[in-house]
């Protein structure tokens, strides 16, 4: 009987890992002078193994508290530029089409 409980536990654990989704979903930004940007929590957390605390509460808080940040400010290390600086991840100064669609 004990092995059946252990088997159910393992199946649930593996299933939740294999089919689990990262909270937060996609967030769409629509800058005035550039193409739309879709931020993917799944990509950053699920693929690139960032922890939620790497971004929350700093440099990002909540969608309601989010303030617009210019590309110049990002190039100085604000917002996405905190990590996308060319050292930690690709720079916000290059390959615009990676983020802007």
Average of per-residue pLDDT values in the chain: 80
Exposed / middle / buried, residue 78 (Cβ in 10 Å: 0-12, 13-18, 19+): middle
Domains of the chain: 25-98 (3.90.10.10)
Q: Tell me: the pLDDT tens digits for 34-68?
A: 999 999 999 999 888 889 888 888 888 777 777 78
Q: Which of 69, 98, 62, 63 is nearest to 89 (CA)?
A: 98
Strand partners, 56: 60
The pLDDT-based confidence of 74 (bands split at 50, 70, 90) is very high
Higher pLDDT, 83 or 7: 83
């Amino acid at each position: 009987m004990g092995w059946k409980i252990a088997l159910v536990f393992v199946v649930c654990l593996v299933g939740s890992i294999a089919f689990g989704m990262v909270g937060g979903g996609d967030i769409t930004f629509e800058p005035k002078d550039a193409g739309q940007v879709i931020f993917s929590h799944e990509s950053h957390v699920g693929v690139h193994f960032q922890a939620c605390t790497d971004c929350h509460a700093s440099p990002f808080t909540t969608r309601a508290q989010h303030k617009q940040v210019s590309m110049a400010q990002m190039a100085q290390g604000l917002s996405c530029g905190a990590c996308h600086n060319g050292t930690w991840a690709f720079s916000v100064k290059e390959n615009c089409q990676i983020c802007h669609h």
